[in-house]
Amino acid sequence: MGAQQRVFRRRIRSVGATKKITKAMELIASSRIVKAQQRLDAALPYLKQLLAAISAAATGASDVAKHPLMANPENRTKAAVLVVTADRGLAGAYSANTLREAEALYTNLRENGVTSIPFVVGRKGVSYYRFRERAMGGEYTGFTDQPTYADAKAIGEDLLNAFLTPVEEGGVDEIHIVYTHFVNMGTQDVRILRVLPLEVVDEVIEKGSALPFPLYEFEPDAETVLDGLLPQYIQHSVYTALLLAAASEHAARRRAMKSATDNAEELIRTLTRQANQARQAEITQEISEIVGGADALASS
């Protein structure tokens, strides 16, 4: 075996080992997507019912416009932006797309005279802001691929405390969440959700519906019920965003690893073809040398 063949064989073995790793990561991401979808399907009905309860309580409240979590300030000066990125890489442009959308939101808010304070989830986002020496209101890492409600509760409490704190003391006027929304295995898009101040639609029945108008009784009153429901809404909205982002992260990693596996297979085919060509050239060279030597002996 010639030196050139040894180089090709070494490269083929190296690419083959990389292919095994990317294939394994693709299969792991595929299995985790299913689990993430199951957690998401279990969480969404609660959020829908929670929104319905908040709408009913807001409809029954005497002056909902003055509630601290629903009142829109006349002059906005500060906004908290929760940016959900990944802890690990090898997921294509997943984190980069989220950070790009967050930067676009910062630019838009700055043009309207609003200062943004980032609350960052994921090591990728934290590294991004630390490298640029930008102050963060909160850092949350270590759970992006499998978030729990306890993680979302901690984030929601920090955001709610920042919102309830006066702006003069370091608080904010509104809260936004920038996350990647999971549509299906092939489609995930970055979305921006304004969580606070909350906009609630009055409880109505669709035209043509046979259901009667719902009647609610609140104990002790609608305002107290609203005070208890709104913090839960904030925490569960964060939890749902984390679940959607986790499913999107696994889908992006699966797509990236599948692309890497396909590229490795193509590279192995190319290297094998080149190795065969080098082997054929060596064989041809040896035959030529043998024939030349035989001719020389015959001539002598």
Q: Taking residues 174-190, what's their average pLDDT?
A: 88
pLDDT of the residue at 160: 87
C-alpha dist (Å) from residue 260 to 32, 91, 247, 264: 19, 11, 20, 6
Confidence of residue 102 (pLDDT cuts 50, 70, 90): very high
Distance CA 51, CA 45 (A): 10
Percent of residues, the chain, with pLDDT higher than 90: 23
Using pLDDT thresholds of 50, 70 and 90, give the confidence band for residue 59: low
Residue 32 confidence (pLDDT) above 80: yes
* Highest-scoring range by mean pLDDT, 44-58, 239-253, 276-290: 239-253
Q: SS3 for the chain, per residue?
A: CCHHHHHHHHHHHHHHHHHHHHHHHHHHHHHHHHHHHHHHHHHHHHHHHHHHHHHHHHHHCCCHHHCCCCCCCCCCCEEEEEEECCCCCCCCCHHHHHHHHHHHHHHHHHHCCCEEEEEEECHHHHHHHHHCCCCCCEEECCCCCCCCHHHHHHHHHHHHHHHHCCHHHCCCCEEEEEEEEECCCCCEEEEEEEEECCCCCCCCCCCCCCCCCCCCCCCCCHHHHHHHHHHHHHHHHHHHHHHHHHHHHHHHHHHHHHHHHHHHHHHHHHHHHHHHHHHHHHHHHHHHHHHHHHHHHHHC
- Distance, CA of 58 to CA of 51 (rounded, Å): 10
Which bin fits 160, alpha (ψ -120 to 50), beta or left (φ > 0)? alpha
* Most confident by average pLDDT, 19-23, 184-188, 212-216, 291-295: 19-23
Asked if residue 17 lies in contact with residue 252, where contact means CB atoms within 8 angstroms, the answer is: no
Mean pLDDT, the chain, as a whole number?
A: 83
User: Which pLDDT score, from 0 to 100, does residue 24 have?
Assistant: 92
Residue 104 has a pLDDT of 92
Classify strands 115-121 and 78-84 as parallel, antiparallel or unpaired: parallel
- How much of the chain exceeds pLDDT 70, in percent? 86
Is residue 64 very low, low, confident or very high in pLDDT (cuts 50, 70, 90)?
A: low
> Secondary structure of 81-124 in the HEC alphabet?
EEEECCCCCCCCCHHHHHHHHHHHHHHHHHHCCCEEEEEEECHH
Token pair in block for residue 111? 């043009």
Model confidence pLDDT, tens digit, residues 220-244: 776 777 777 788 888 888 999 999 9
pLDDT at 121: 93
In this prediction, residues 262-291 reach a mean pLDDT of 85
CA–CA distance, 140 with 152 (Å, rounded to integer): 10
- If one compares 62 and 178, the residue with the highest pLDDT of the two is 178
Domains of the chain in start order, with CATH, are 26-199+216-255 (3.40.1380.10)
Q: Residue 103's pLDDT is what?
A: 92
The stretch 153-174 carries a mean pLDDT of 86
For the entire predicted model, the pTM comes to: 0.81
